[in-house]
Amino acid sequence: MTITQLYYVLAVAEQQNFTKAAEKCFVTQPTLSMQIQKLEDELDIQIFDRTKKPIELTDVGRKIVTQARNIVNESYRIQDIVDQQKGFIGGEFKLGIIPTIMPTLLPMFLKTFIKRHPKVKLKIEELTTEEIISRIIDGHLDAAIVATPLEQELIKERVLYYEPFVSYIPKSHRLHQSKKIDVSELDLDDMLLLEDGHCFRDGVINLCKTFKSHTEDKFQIESGSIETLIKLSNEGLGMTLLPYLHTLDVKESEKGNLHYFNEPTPAREVSIIYHKSELKMQIIEALQSIIAGIIRGAIAFQNVEIISPLPK
C-alpha cells in the first residue's frame, strides 16, 4: 500500500470516473487503474463497483476512502513541517468565500496579499457556506472566509472581524424617518431577503425572530444578490439589511436610505475556517494577519451583538 495508491483512490471517488481521475492526477488511465487494482488485490476487497455508471464506492470502499483521506492529509503535513521550518510561504492555496463577503472583502486584501506573498498561488472560489463545509471536510479547499459560528466538529474557526448590519430603508417605508433603528422594529413581512442558501439571509431571519414570533415566514421577494435587493427597495418594495462593508459602495444619492441601529449594533462574525488537521497554517496565518489589519481601519464599530447565521 502506498500514498500514491490512496491518492488515486481519492481521485476516482471524487470524479466517479477512471479517465477523469487519471487526468486530475496527471497519469495515464491504465497506470491509475493498475495501481488501484494492485491495492484491491493486496487488501482482497473491491473498493469500487465498476458495474455502476457512474462508478460507485462499495460499502467497504467508503470506509477506506474516509481513512485514505486522513492518511493523505497527514502525508501533506510533512511538507508543511519542512515549509514552516524554512519560513516558506508559497504553493497552491484553495480559498472559498461566501457571496455576501466576496465582492467587498476580496478587493480590499487581495492586492496586498499577492504583493507580500508572491509565491502563493491563490485559487479563489465563490461558494455557499454549505458547499464550503463539504469541500473543506473532503479536502478540496484549504480554507474559507464565512460567517460564523458554524459549530462543525471537523472545522476550526479564527475570527477575522465583526461586521455590523445596516438598514437600507427607502423614503416610502414606515421607518425611513427614524434616525436610528431598534431591532424590535424589524418585521419579516416587509423585509427583502437573499434567496435560500445564503447564511446572511439566515442571520437576518434570526435577528427578526429574536424579537418577533412568526408562525409562518412569508417572503414575496427574494434575490440572489444584495445589489438587486437595493434596487427592489428603491422601488418601494420593502426594506433590507446590508453588511456594513457593502454600504461603502452605496451611491451618494442613496446614502440617505442607510439607517444604523441603536447599540448594541447587530453584527455578524466573519472568520477564516479550515480543517482541524491544520494544513498550510503559515498561509492561513498570513491571510488572517493581512485581512484583520485592513479591516481594523474600515470598521470602527465597538459595541456589537453577534447574530448567528445558524437557526436557533
Cell of 90: 508559497
Domain 87-158+270-302 has CATH 3.30.2080.10: no
For 163-267, CATH number?
Answer: 3.40.190.10
Helix or strand holding residue 227 (H, E): helix 226-234
**What mean pLDDT value characterizes the chain?**
85
Per-residue pLDDT of 196-223, as tens digits, reads 555 666 666 665 655 444 444 444 444 4
Burial of 65 (0-12, 13-18, 19+ CB in 10 A): buried
Per-residue pLDDT of 249-297, as tens digits, reads 888 988 888 988 888 888 889 999 999 988 899 999 999 999 999 998 8
Stretch(es) of the chain classified as CATH 3.40.190.10:
87-158+270-302, 163-267
The CATH number of domain 3-83, selected from 1.10.3720.10, 1.10.10.10, 3.30.70.270, 3.10.20.30: 1.10.10.10
- Quick count: other Cβ atoms within 10 Å of Cβ 239? 23
Per DSSP, the three-state class of 244 is helix
Q: Which residues fall within 8 angstroms of residue 174, CB to CB, at 6 or more apart?
A: 190
The model's pTM is: 0.74
* pLDDT at residue 179 greater than cutoff 50: yes
* pLDDT at residue 95 greater than cutoff 90: yes
